[in-house]
A and B are shown apart, each in its own frame.
Chain A
Amino acid sequence: MAAYITHPALSSLCKINCNINAIYSLISFSRRISISSVLSTSAVTTESEAAGQGVRGQRRSKRQAGEPRTERMTVDQDWTAVYPTAASFKPSTVPLPVRMGYPVKRGVPPAKKGNLELIKIPNFLHLTPVAIKKHCEALKQFCTEWPSALDSDEKCMKHFPIQVQSKEFVSAGLSLKNPDARIVTLKVKLSSLNLDDHARKKMIKLGEERYCKDTDTLTITTDSCPLRQQNYDYAMYLLTVLYHESWKTEAWEQEKTRADMEEYEWEDSPSQKNVLDTLLRMRPLGAKDEVEELLGQPAVQEYRDTMLRLKNEGETEENLHKYKEAVKKLFNI
């Protein structure tokens, strides 16, 4: 049913005369005629409107809706004036021919006029680039200048290696606060810290799954304290403790076994022993111990390289092929 605007005079008229049945019928009859002469709607709607008016009694007159605002919009208008704040989608205000919804019976999605789907969803019509530029211009008076020396990402990372992230939440509900706002994430690259070989390995072991090997980043996430400030302090404290602990060497670290090693080392490995044994059996040593000499041969070095690659990088066809070549050279096949 198309909505119609109640004419104030007529409505007051009908209110006054509603109790008098006879006059009411006269007035309703006259009103029906006047409405039908003014409106050029279809006969069906007039009929139904009349029936409705007849049944319900007081009826507000229907005024035809004027042309939508979009007809009068120019291309270079100021959009921020149309949507200055977040508002729902108004089909008469947005000049885009948007369609949304499920196409019923192999048709097309319904048009924007009266489309509830478009109204339901959130829109960002109030945040166009122009609008954001205006926001920035307005906020500029409260900002200080970006330091000119930090003009590239690398320089920023070099001087400020620790990145702290936290989220702000704005909600309009019973309470303005959001408990997730207390979470603080601290990211730092281990290459920017002053660590030697042992300290680095120990830090990675202590960090367990907080360390990402691909990006060499240690990520510490804290949410145990109720306030963001406290969480930030706790994260900084954790970083400091990790750093200092990894520089210390405990007594029990001497018991580190081969299984604990992060990388495969060829020295002292069963592989080296095997190769040595085989070479010795092939050519027994002379009086002098020439183990280092044997191991220093280029063929053995090449074998060592391929073994390291196989074990550290994983096994692929390529690595296996190189291993085969190295073994062939070692035994002169």
Chain B
Amino acid sequence: MNLHKLSSRLCPTATQKFRHLHIPSSGQQLEAVALETASAEPNPLSVFRTSEQDPTYHSEGHTGQYYMLPPAHIQKLFPYGLPPRFQLQIKTFNEGCVMVRPPALELISYLKRADYSKPPLRYVLHGDIGTGKTMSLCHVLHYCYTQGWLIVHIPDAHLWIKNCKELLPSSSRPSRFDQPIQASQWLKNFKITNERFLSKLKTTQRYVWTKRESTKKGQPLGELIDQGVNRMKSSSDVVGAVLRELRLQAGGTTEGEGAFKLTVAVDGVNALWGKTSLKKEDRTMCEPEELTLIHNLRKMMKNNWSGGAILTALSQTGSVFKPRSAYLPNELLGEEGFDSMEPFVPVSVSNYNEKEFESCYLYYLDRSWLQHPHSRSEEGKKELIFLCNKNPSILERLCAAL
């Protein structure tokens, strides 16, 4: 144990060599490994890491291994996108490491093979609570980011249907309600993530916000977003306008600067078709349809545009009025949601298997997260397996207490 810590302190994290623990297709991979690990001495405890930081090159050989998210990417891509506990973990460990797992690899392979002149395919990540749907979604988003796509990321759609302090009647349409705080926050995050596209894309029509303010045709998108951030009252409508522009322009022109691929990533997509916990002024419940943000987001979910992909993940954790045991798409999305999302590709996310658990355990050991002396022994490990049933989030919470 001590030897290992010494070695990890000596060699910088990024250049740690990786070795495959299990031997699925033995011959070829061992040869590849032998070539790459020529210089380093075999270090069995660093098996759980890989130096491959670009998700484009992740393959089945990398399953179960942690790769590090470059800090610059984290700041840009995920200002609020990562799960809160993972953000705490990043702060504690001083690095953000994500495990490569089969569902994410599957999604990435679909994205690589998809045809982007056709309508976008919808992928729904589903699974029991705490199995890693949000993390897999973030992994795939990182891939999209490295590929240079434009990312529309809604970290948790449930935040938009509950606990809203301000609910204003919409300025443009009388029957709808605006959520200025959520909308302006999202616009800020969107700006941070997609800085480089904002000057290139132009609006296609004139938008009138109030009697005195309007955005002319042909203005860069950045101006539109600034308008929304500065003027809170019309921020929800700005969100709608931005989404509309992106829909119209995604994958449209193949030559020139305007070409980009759009990925729409929504976590907690079942919020769009469920019930809200917001009340209108006359004390009746608000339908999701009546919220501007939700209405515009639903339009994005339809596949009547082309040149991108729609990645979603279901979530029971933040949802309102849904039983805790529900995790299948039909239960969480409801009739309406299922009909709207259809046809989609369901991708199942499950608990860790042996190898992944091993990897997670070694990672925590490596980061000195497991302080209890008993946790280092074989028995301690078996106890951990028994207690958490290899569920990623429960394991993380257990280890936090050790």
Residues of A near any B CB (own CB < 8 A): 270-271, 274-275, 277-278, 281-282, 303, 310, 315-317, 320-321, 323-324, 327-328, 330-331, 333
Given contacts A281-B118, A333-B114, contact A315 B342 (CB under 8 A): no
- Give the distance to chain B from A255, nearest Cβ to Cβ, in Å: 20
Apart from A274-B339, A333-B121: 19 A-B pairs, beta carbons within 8 A: A274-B343, A275-B342, A275-B343, A277-B303, A278-B343, A281-B119, A281-B304, A310-B330, A315-B328, A315-B329, A315-B330, A320-B328, A320-B329, A321-B348, A328-B345, A330-B343, A331-B118, A331-B343, A333-B345
From B328, which residue of chain A is reached at the shortest CB distance?
A315
Q: Could you list 23 examples of A-B contacts with CB < 8 Å?
A: A274-B342, A274-B343, A275-B342, A277-B303, A278-B303, A278-B343, A281-B303, A281-B304, A281-B306, A282-B119, A310-B330, A315-B328, A315-B329, A315-B331, A316-B328, A317-B348, A321-B348, A327-B345, A331-B118, A331-B121, A331-B343, A333-B110, A333-B345
Instruction: Give complex CA distance A333, B108 in Å.
Output: 12
Instruction: Give complex CA distance A333, B342 in Å.
Output: 16
Instruction: Give complex CA distance A310, B346 in Å.
Output: 13
Query: Do A333 and B339 touch across chains, with their CB atoms under 8 A apart?
Result: no
Interface assignment of B57: CB less than 8 Å from any CB of chain A: no
Query: Do B118 and A324 touch across chains, with their CB atoms under 8 A apart?
Result: no
Residues of chain B lying within 8 A (CB to CB) of residue A330 = 343
Query: Do B339 and A270 touch across chains, with their CB atoms under 8 A apart?
Result: yes
Residues of chain B lying within 8 A (CB to CB) of residue A327 = 343-345
- Give the distance to chain A from B329, nearest Cβ to Cβ, in Å: 7
Q: Quick one: which of A281, A310, A315, A324 contacts B345, CB cutoff 8 A?
A: A324
From A314, which residue of chain B is reached at the shortest CB distance?
B330
- Per-residue CB proximity of B301-344 to A under 8 Å, as 1/0? 00110100000000000000000000011110000000100111
Q: Which 6 A-B pairs have the closest CB atoms?
A: A270-B339, A315-B330, A315-B328, A282-B118, A281-B119, A274-B342
Residues of B near any A CB (own CB < 8 A): 110, 113-114, 118-119, 121, 303-304, 306, 328-331, 339, 342-348
Instruction: Give complex CA distance A161, B118 in Å.
Output: 59
Instruction: Give complex CA distance A278, B310 in Å.
Output: 14
Residues of chain B lying within 8 A (CB to CB) of residue A271 = 339, 342-343
Query: Do B119 and A323 touch across chains, with their CB atoms under 8 A apart?
Result: no
- Give the distance to chain A from B303, nearest Cβ to Cβ, in Å: 6
Instruction: Give complex CA distance A239, B121 in Å.
Output: 53
Query: Do A303 and B343 touch across chains, with their CB atoms under 8 A apart?
Result: yes
Instruction: Give complex CA distance A255, B110 in Å.
Output: 44
From B110, which residue of chain A is reached at the shortest CB distance?
A333
Residues of chain A lying within 8 A (CB to CB) of residue B347 = 324
Residues of chain A lying within 8 A (CB to CB) of residue B304 = 277, 281
- Give the distance to chain A from B121, nearest Cβ to Cβ, in Å: 6
Residues of chain B lying within 8 A (CB to CB) of residue A278 = 119, 303, 343
From B303, which residue of chain A is reached at the shortest CB distance?
A278
Residues of chain B lying within 8 A (CB to CB) of residue A321 = 348
Residues of chain A lying within 8 A (CB to CB) of residue B121 = 331, 333
Instruction: Give complex CA distance A315, B334 in Å.
Output: 12
Instruction: Give complex CA distance A197, B211 in Å.
Output: 63
Query: Do B346 and A333 touch across chains, with their CB atoms under 8 A apart?
Result: no
Residues of chain A lying within 8 A (CB to CB) of residue B345 = 324, 327-328, 333
Instruction: Give complex CA distance A321, B106 in Å.
Output: 14
- Give the distance to chain B from A284, nearest Cβ to Cβ, in Å: 11
Residues of chain B lying within 8 A (CB to CB) of residue A323 = 346
Residues of chain B lying within 8 A (CB to CB) of residue A317 = 348
Residues of chain B lying within 8 A (CB to CB) of residue A282 = 118-119
- Give the distance to chain A from B308, nearest Cβ to Cβ, in Å: 14
Which of B114, B328, B329, B342 has its CB near the most chain A CB atoms (within 10 A)?
Answer: B342
From A259, which residue of chain B is reached at the shortest CB distance?
B335
Residues of chain A lying within 8 A (CB to CB) of residue B346 = 320, 323-324
Residues of chain A lying within 8 A (CB to CB) of residue B344 = 327
From A330, which residue of chain B is reached at the shortest CB distance?
B343
Instruction: Give complex CA distance A275, B341 in Å.
Output: 11
From A323, which residue of chain B is reached at the shortest CB distance?
B346
Residues of chain A lying within 8 A (CB to CB) of residue B113 = 333
Query: Do B118 and A320 touch across chains, with their CB atoms under 8 A apart?
Result: no
Residues of chain B lying within 8 A (CB to CB) of residue A274 = 339, 342-343
- Give the distance to chain B from A323, nearest Cβ to Cβ, in Å: 7
Query: Do B119 and A320 touch across chains, with their CB atoms under 8 A apart?
Result: no
- Give the distance to chain A from B351, nearest Cβ to Cβ, in Å: 14
Residues of chain B lying within 8 A (CB to CB) of residue A331 = 118, 121, 343
Residues of chain B lying within 8 A (CB to CB) of residue A270 = 339, 342
- Give the distance to chain B from A325, nearest Cβ to Cβ, in Å: 10
Residues of chain B lying within 8 A (CB to CB) of residue A310 = 330
Residues of chain A lying within 8 A (CB to CB) of residue B119 = 278, 281-282
Residues of chain B lying within 8 A (CB to CB) of residue A281 = 118-119, 303-304, 306
- Give the distance to chain B from A27, nearest Cβ to Cβ, in Å: 87
- Give the distance to chain A from B248, nearest Cβ to Cβ, in Å: 15
- Give the distance to chain B from A294, nearest Cβ to Cβ, in Å: 14
Instruction: Give complex CA distance A72, B346 in Å.
Output: 80
From A272, which residue of chain B is reached at the shortest CB distance?
B342
From B341, which residue of chain A is reached at the shortest CB distance?
A274
- Give the distance to chain B from A303, nearest Cβ to Cβ, in Å: 7
Residues of chain A lying within 8 A (CB to CB) of residue B329 = 315, 320
From A333, which residue of chain B is reached at the shortest CB distance?
B110
- Give the distance to chain A from B114, nearest Cβ to Cβ, in Å: 7
From B331, which residue of chain A is reached at the shortest CB distance?
A315
Residues of chain B lying within 8 A (CB to CB) of residue A324 = 345-347
Instruction: Give complex CA distance A277, B344 in Å.
Output: 14
Query: Do A320 and B114 touch across chains, with their CB atoms under 8 A apart?
Result: no
- Give the distance to chain B from A63, nearest Cβ to Cβ, in Å: 73
From B126, which residue of chain A is reached at the shortest CB distance?
A320
Residues of chain B lying within 8 A (CB to CB) of residue A316 = 328
- Give the distance to chain A from B246, nearest Cβ to Cβ, in Å: 18
- Give the distance to chain B from A89, nearest Cβ to Cβ, in Å: 52
Residues of chain A lying within 8 A (CB to CB) of residue B342 = 270-271, 274-275
- Give the distance to chain B from A271, nearest Cβ to Cβ, in Å: 5
Residues of chain A lying within 8 A (CB to CB) of residue B118 = 281-282, 331
Which of A278, A321, A333 has its CB near the most chain B CB atoms (within 10 A)?
Answer: A278
- Give the distance to chain B from A88, nearest Cβ to Cβ, in Å: 54
Residues of chain A lying within 8 A (CB to CB) of residue B114 = 333
From B118, which residue of chain A is reached at the shortest CB distance?
A282
Query: Do B303 and A320 touch across chains, with their CB atoms under 8 A apart?
Result: no
Residues of chain A lying within 8 A (CB to CB) of residue B348 = 317, 320-321
Instruction: Give complex CA distance A303, B384 in Å.
Output: 42
- Give the distance to chain A from B305, nearest Cβ to Cβ, in Å: 9
